Amino acid sequence: MALDPVFTTVVRWALGVVFLTAAVHKLSDFSVFRATLSEYRLLPGALEASGALVIVLLELAAGVGMFVPVLAPFAAWMVMSLLVVYMLAIGINLARGRRDIDCGCSGPAMRQTLSGWLLVRNGVLLAAAALSLLPAASRQLIWLDSLTIVFGAGVFVLLYTSINLLIANGPRLKALFS
Amino acid sequence: MIQSLVISNVVLWIAVIAMGVIIIALLRQIGVLHERIAPAGALMIGHGPKVGEVSPVLQVQDISGRELAIGGVNTEGRSKLIFYLSPTCPVCKTLIPVLRSSKRSESEWLDFILASDGDMTSQRKFVAEHELDEFNYVVSTELGITFQVGRLPYAVLIDEAGVIRSKGLINSREQLESIFEAKEKGLASIQEYIEQHREDVA
């Protein structure tokens, strides 16, 4: 069964906004992002600067691509590869026990330390990107569909931000009880 | 019938968006509350020796073995800036060039001390990587506890008479410069400066 095009577009737009804002946050304080990346201790020092730039450029490209119907499937694959890389990077550092480093996901203003919840969050994004790759039925879209797309994507972005805030607050709540 | 459904759909969307915004606002407020009620140790801003008080006196050794006196009257009339940082703090790294240039521009009256805590091998690696040899780099838990440093990067300015003139979290070049500014104007913080200025106008 083919998906209704409204579902596909909502998912694409929401992912587009999520990746564009992530890229803009990283760019706006690029030196902090570079330092954050080096704390992951995964790239050799010489590659850190170029690695950080490549990540931001890929995020930008994937974010923009999500809004262009012809490019969206490529953008979805890019998003999925980025998410897998992020999950590996977070997973490796969780395994190393380095929980107190900053995620760097949404810029330095949101201080998220590493936790399993970030893996869950990225898993959900990964599933969403995969969903957007499923074949969509074609039908004539009317004005109410546009409304659903804009508001629907908006709500998912708001929910994503809420989840990030919850993840950021988590360790602080724990600290209260220790 | 269809028209009613359409209308109800539009109204519901607006309601859902509004709720999404409200949830974010609430979560942000919870974040602020956490900052406020965090137990001592996690956040100790405003604790420890106060601005205007005489600094506790202690003797520390930097990683090249030089003895340094913190606090007390400086016979050469020089002030001291203790800058707390750590190899694991991203913002600290971005401030290293600022520290370097400030050290040069304020060299007439100010000595810089970089203070950190933790594993010695990673500290030495950090110093080598960022070429911090020109600074006195102190690894000491005691120095952090003395001034109740909870968050990084943090700075404490002690004047030639051994009095704490300014202290606080430093996140940018402007904040570091505001500490020097405060010293020149004889004020504890730039906030105090603005406050005083306002009174003058009024």
Q: What is the per-residue pLDDT across A123-151, written as a single tens digit (0 to 9) for each?
A: 999 999 999 999 888 888 889 899 999 99
Name chain A contacts of B17, Cβ cutoff 8 Å: 151, 154-155, 158
Q: What mean pLDDT comes out for the span A18-41?
A: 89
Q: What mean pLDDT comes out for the span A85-104?
A: 89
Beta-sheet strands, E only, within B1-71: 58-61, 67-70
Look up tokens 């504890």; give the residue. B188
The ipTM (two decimal places) reads 0.79
Name chain B contacts of A166, Cβ cutoff 8 Å: 27
Predicted TM-score of the model (pTM): 0.68
Confirm if A113 and A90 have CB atoms less than 8 A apart. Answer: no
Domain range enclosing A141? 5-177
> Do the chains contact at B21 and A158, CB–CB below 8 Å?
yes
> Do the chains contact at A39 and B88, CB–CB below 8 Å?
yes
Q: What is the per-residue pLDDT across A152-164, written as a single tens digit (0 to 9) for each?
A: 999 999 999 999 9
The burial of A164, by beta-carbon neighbours within 10 Å (0-12 exposed, 13-18 middle, 19 or more buried), is given as buried
Name chain B contacts of A32, Cβ cutoff 8 Å: 90-91, 94
Confirm if A160 and A120 have CB atoms less than 8 A apart. Answer: no
User: Phi and psi of B159, rounded to 5°?
Assistant: -85, 180
Give the mean pLDDT of chain A.
90
- Locate the chain A residue with the closest alpha carbon to B24: A162
Q: How far apart are CA B153 and CA B155, in angstroms?
A: 7
Q: What is the 3-state secondary structure (H, E, C) of B108-157?
A: CCEEEEEEECCCHHHHHHHHHHCCCCCCEEEECHHHHHHCCCCCCCEEEE
> Do the chains contact at A147 and B34, CB–CB below 8 Å?
no
Query: How many domains is chain A partitioned into structurally?
Result: 1
> Do the chains contact at B24 and A165, CB–CB below 8 Å?
yes
Q: What is the per-residue pLDDT across A50-87, written as a single tens digit (0 to 9) for each?
A: 999 999 999 999 999 999 999 999 999 999 999 999 99
pLDDT of B123 strictly over 90: no
- What three-state secondary structure class fits A41? coil
Percentage of chain B exceeding pLDDT 90: 8
Q: What is the per-residue pLDDT across B144-173, written as a single tens digit (0 to 9) for each?
A: 888 888 777 888 888 888 888 888 788 777
Q: How far apart are CA A79 and CA A13, in angstroms?
A: 13
Closest Cβ opposite residue A144 in set B9, B35, B91:
B9
Judged by a CB distance cut-off of 8 A, whether residue A159 touches chain B is yes
Q: How far apart are CA A171 and CA B5, in angstroms?
A: 44
Q: What mean pLDDT comes out for the span B16-31?
A: 93
> Which residue, B52, B60, B167, B157, is CA-closest to B111?
B157
Closest Cβ opposite residue A172 in set B10, B34, B88:
B34
pLDDT of residue A137: 85
Out of A77-91, A149-163, B131-145, B182-196, least confident range: B182-196
Judged by a CB distance cut-off of 8 A, whether residue A168 touches chain B is yes
